[in-house]
A and B are shown apart, each in its own frame.
Chain A
Amino acid sequence: MKIEFLYWEECPSHGEALARLREVLNKAGIGTPVELIHVGTDDQAVAMKFPGSPTIRVDGADLFPVPHEVVGLSCRVYHTPEGRVTPLPTKDMIRSALDAHRIRISKGG
């Protein structure tokens, strides 16, 4: 499993988001190191198809895919299952998305 954490330092949610990701991975017994990727320019954002900070990719796939997501340097919008808007995913959201990803992989998806 390859885990990438893409962030833009001007968006203040990345530190907490990374801590949550690491905690979820640790509790799930996933020892894969998280690769930190700083996206600092508009050109990098376009080249990396960066939809906003923070973005978590597992095996190259966005953990929270959104169709037609706009690419660029900005803070990313997440929606909690309760309907709240937030700048970073909750631990439950990360855990559920990781579980879904692992199920897809186990089924050969």
Chain B
Amino acid sequence: MGPLALESKLLAFSLPGTDGKTHSPDQYRQAAILGVVFTCNHCPYAKAWEDRLIKLQRDFAKSGAQLLLISSNDPAKIPDDSFENMKRRSKEKAYPFPYLFDESQEVARSYGATRTPEIFLFDADRVLRYHGAPDDNFENPAAVTHHYLRGAIEALIAGRQPEPTDTKPVGCTIKWK
């Protein structure tokens, strides 16, 4: 099974967040753009892109873009990805977005996510308009030549379709039970 196909509708979920609340996409109806981002604590790719995602959320908050970060990794395999450690990480980094724990891994499976990070970006009608990586250089933010996610958000805000719409997610594999 591949990832959720472009132009698919958002798949609903309800997950506990590190803020002690339960979050679902319905709560973010006001958001003009909703990004579902599969990520985790331990993965060096996720860590490398983490500050860029934080900056994106801060840059576009007023434009109505909302990211929802989800960790689906099995903490039995990667203790750093336990819910307690997710809470610690979100606090340390002062996450400006919810950080949700997909303990059953059903959300990751339903989206067909396989990597961390892996982004599914939905427009105001909650139609999938971009899937893939945040940008084209996980190693060095200063060396990025294609800002895929930033460009996709800007395009949707401007009423255009993102280009590209699909890139290869680059990162660690999701650690399944």
- A residues contacting B by CB (< 8 A) are 10-13, 70, 72, 74-78, 84-88, 90
Query: Are A74 and B78 in touch, CB under 8 angstroms?
Result: yes
Are the CB atoms of B78 and A86 closer together than 8 Å?
Answer: no
Set of chain A residues within 8 Å of B79, measured between Cβ atoms? 70
The main secondary structure of chain A at its interface with chain B is loop
Report how far A78 CA is from B78 CA in the complex, Å.
17
Give Cα distance in the complex from A76 to B80, angstroms.
Answer: 13
Minimum-distance CB pairs A-B, first 4: A87-B44, A85-B47, A77-B44, A75-B172
State how many angstroms separate the Cβ of A90 from the closest Cβ of chain B: 8
In the complex, what distance in Å separates the CA atom of A13 from the CA atom of B44? Answer: 10
Known A-B contacts A10-B173, A12-B170; the reply to A75 vs B43 at CB < 8 A is yes
Q: A11-B172, A12-B170, A74-B172 are in contact. Are A84 and B48 (CB under 8 A)?
A: yes
Given the complex of chains A and B, what is the CA–CA distance between A88 and B78 in angstroms?
A: 19
Are A76 and B48 also in contact (CB < 8 A) when A10-B173, A86-B139 are? no
Tell me whether B89 is interfacial, beta carbon within 8 Å. no
B45 contacts the other chain (Cβ, under 8 Å)? yes
Provide the bound-state CA to CA distance between A86 and B171, in Å: 11
Q: Which residues of B contact A74 (CB under 8 A)?
A: 42-43, 78, 172
Number of interface residues, chain B, beta carbon within 8 A? 17
**Given A11-B173, A75-B44, A76-B44; 11 other pairs, CB 8 A cutoff:** A74-B42, A74-B43, A75-B45, A75-B171, A77-B42, A77-B44, A78-B44, A86-B44, A86-B139, A87-B45, A88-B139
How far is it, in angstroms, between the C-alpha of A38 and the C-alpha of B170 when the chains are bound?
Answer: 20
Residue B138 lies at the interface, judged by CB distance under 8 Å to chain A: yes
- In the complex, which of the residues B44, B48, B79, B138 has the most CB atoms of chain A within 10 Å of its own CB atom? B44
B140 at the interface (CB under 8 A from A): yes
**Contact assessment for B78 and A85 in the assembled complex, using a CB-CB cutoff below 8 Å:** no
Report whether B44 and A85 are in contact in the complex, using a CB–CB cutoff of 8 Å: yes
Give A72 to B44 CA distance when docked, in angstroms.
14
Smallest distance from the beta carbon of A25 to chain B beta carbons, Å? 21
Name the residue of chain A whose CB is nearest to the CB of B79: A70
Once the chains are docked, how many angstroms separate the CA of A75 from the CA of B47?
11
Chain B residue at minimal CB-CB distance from A77: B44
